[in-house]
Amino acid sequence: MDVGLLPPLQALIRLRRIDPALVTQDRAVLENFVMDERVHDARVVHFAAAAGTVPWTSINEFFDRHSHRYLQPHVELEKSDTGVPHTFDSSLNGGNFWPLIEENLALYRVESVVFALKGSGVEEVDLEQAIDAMAGRASPYGKPEASTILARACDNWTVRRDQRPLFATTAPEIEPLLTDHPVEWENAVRDHLGLGHLNPRAASEPVKVLLMRYTVKEVRAASKAAGSGGFCIPTVLDGSINPHFFPTPLPSAGAPSGPHGVGRAINLRPVATQSEYVMGLELIHSYVEYRPEHLIRWGSVSRPLAVDLGQLRSFHLEWLRLDTERDDFGCDLTHV
């Protein structure tokens, strides 16, 4: 990203870049904005206009401007709003679209149980037992009653959801994790996809999650009906500011990752060496309405994160450079 088009951000980086008190998470956020090559100048200009020209005195103020002045009015649009999220505006983000994704490919996404059930009147235990019934697992409910419970939850959820881009992954990426980790699949999936916001404060306070599965074809049908949408590689402007995100560079010609419109998620599984580290895979897509059959598992993320984020980002960068054949990709804030 050309931070020269964002004087308040450039000034904030210059103020904080050599501060010994700059924690790894905040440094990661600043590095991500400088590194991200996929944010076109036209979109940066829109972001700059939304964020304003008043200097940002802290990273928290930067977070606030990004969320309230840019994401909410330009990316997290209500379904009743006119226009499309900037993510799916081809004039602002066209270079990040992935038009060749196979339509029969299954996609997976992790959602919060608390958010899904808010205001629905459906109890967590009933949701869990209904999902088990639909999946053929032991449950006090039969499939018709279970379907009714899940439909009630989905209908209420639909009313509250907006058009924000949805982070997801693919079946070949996720299904081996589910097979290899039948007991603690939630922790394994959280780590592999870099979902650092799913971080329980202690093992006694797990984060309840849902695993969603639907197809590319369903997303395309929804986007066609809405007149916009699709599949994209994530950028720093497509979601909340997140130290566990890592931008994916533009690959060199002929690089292994060249034909694929996917991002590479930072893996939060604790490892000690570069050879142990494995990048995750992520993409973003436009709104799809959830139906009962999309809710395939429920579970609890129970293990608090205990990783050296700086070390993992270093491992990730080296594998990313290899994958894209871009040895020059990276960031040094002292050059801003």
Residues 249-295: pLDDT tens digits?
A: 999 988 876 666 789 999 999 999 999 999 999 999 999 999 999 99
Query: How confident is the model over 188-244, as pLDDT tens digits?
Result: 999 999 999 999 987 678 999 999 999 999 999 998 877 778 999 999 999 999 999
What is the share, in percent, of the chain residues with pLDDT greater than 90?
A: 83
Confidence of residue 98 (pLDDT cuts 50, 70, 90): confident
Determine contact, residues 183/121, Cβ cutoff 8 Å.
no
Q: Would you call 281 helix, strand, or coil by DSSP?
A: strand
Lowest mean pLDDT among 82-96, 161-175, 186-200: 82-96
CA distance 332 to 267: 22
Q: Mean pLDDT throughout 63-80?
A: 95
- Both tokens of 80, joined, read 């009743």
- The overall average pLDDT reported for the chain is 93
Full-model pTM: 0.94
Q: Which residue has the tokens 């491992």?
A: 315
Q: Element (H or E) spanning 264, and its range?
A: strand 263-265
